Amino acid sequence: MKIFIDGEFVDKDEAKISVFDHGLLYGDGIFEGIRVYKKCVYRLEEHLERLWYSAKDIMLTIPLSVEEMAEAVCESCRINNIEDGYIRLLVTRGKGDLGLSPDTCPRASVIIIADTIRLYPEEHYRVGLSIVTVPTRRSGPAALNPAIKSLNYLNNILAKMEAAQQGALEAIMLNDQGYVAECTGDNIFVVHKGILYTPDVANGALRGITRGTVIDLAEAAGIKVKECNLTRHEIWNADECFLTGTAAELIPVVKLDGRVIGEGVPGTVTKQLHAVFHQEVSTRGVML
């Protein structure tokens, strides 16, 4: 495997960064997770747009143009023969000193890893997930804004650990007001009486690329979509529930906190959206 680091492709075992890189020392950097389907880098333009938004938020200068970054992503897939896989694109603040100030980092570092990934076992896509709510709250816009895909994921990792302690693969995280924000790495949707609901991004939910895709596909299919505040009450009493994410794609949830959701099996709307999602993923993006 070859890893792209600052303009060069190096062997996996030789891919190294400085111990003084502020991405390592302080989580000072940003990332994107991108999928490849049948040699199509899915929604690459949208992913790079979000990367640049995150960079602007933390005042990080990306040392490549958008066009150069897109080509580097595609070449990472070509050189590693990735036809169906996952890309992790990182931009760190770069090498500096032991102080917090980014002023000691003269140039950001770009790392691209093109590999494969499977977030959940295949059986859960057929029968659904049983998930829990955890004590760790999602960071709000007044702290580290969830809209920034930062390298600091300790908030999510703590929630993931709490889920594992309860025997669950995934967890719902609430915001500081007690509303549902998102899961540790996925957005959440519920279906109730034919309407699709999802937490508003202003309340701690990431503006997920797959989330946006599902909203577009639902509206195109004539399904009404509402972005609003949700509590666990709305999820417990929903007809259907599912999660979305670049790695997870679209996966049904059939139980939350011991309460069965709907009939306890993946619902009709969930299956419908899952099917149309997979119809478009190999056509909407940049072909290798």
Q: Read off the pLDDT of residues 10-41 as tens digits, 9 standing for 90 and up.
A: 999 999 999 999 999 999 999 999 999 999 99
How confident is the model at residue 204, as a pLDDT?
A: 81
Handedness of CA 171, 177, 180, 186 (dihedral sign): negative
Q: What is the pTM of this model?
A: 0.95
Alpha helices (H) in the chain, listed in sequence order: 22-26, 44-57, 66-79, 123-127, 154-165, 209-220, 232-236, 268-280
**CATH superfamily to which 123-280 belongs:** D-amino Acid Aminotransferase, subunit A, domain 2 (3.20.10.10)
Per DSSP, the residues of 253-276 read EEEETTEEPTTSS--HHHHHHHHH
How confident is the model at residue 253, as a pLDDT?
A: 98
Are the beta carbons of 190 and 238 closer than 8 angstroms? Answer: yes
Tokens of 10: 């190096």
Other C-beta atoms closer than 10 Å to the C-beta of 71 total 13
Residue 47 reports pLDDT greater than 80? yes
How confident is the model at residue 119, as a pLDDT?
A: 74
Residue 118 reports pLDDT greater than 80? no
pLDDT 10s digits, 212-266:
999 999 999 999 999 999 999 999 999 999 999 999 999 999 999 999 999 999 9
CATH class of segment(s) 2-115: alpha beta
Mean pLDDT over each residue of the chain, to the nearest integer: 96
pLDDT 10s digits, 119-158:
788 999 999 999 999 999 998 888 888 899 999 999 999 9
How confident is the model at residue 149, as a pLDDT?
A: 95
How confident is the model at residue 142, as a pLDDT?
A: 84
pLDDT 10s digits, 162-218:
999 999 999 999 999 999 999 999 999 999 999 999 999 888 888 999 999 999 999
Are the beta carbons of 148 and 57 closer than 8 angstroms? Answer: yes
Domain ranges of the chain: 2-115, 123-280
Tokens of 89: 């694109």
| Coarse DSSP helix, strand, coil percentages of the chain, rounded to the nearest 5 percent | 30, 30, 40
Per DSSP, the residues of 175-211 read -TTS-EEEESS-EEEEEETTEEEEE-GGGT----HHH
Tokens of 167: 């025997």
Residue 117 reports pLDDT greater than 90? no
Residues known to be catalytic: 149
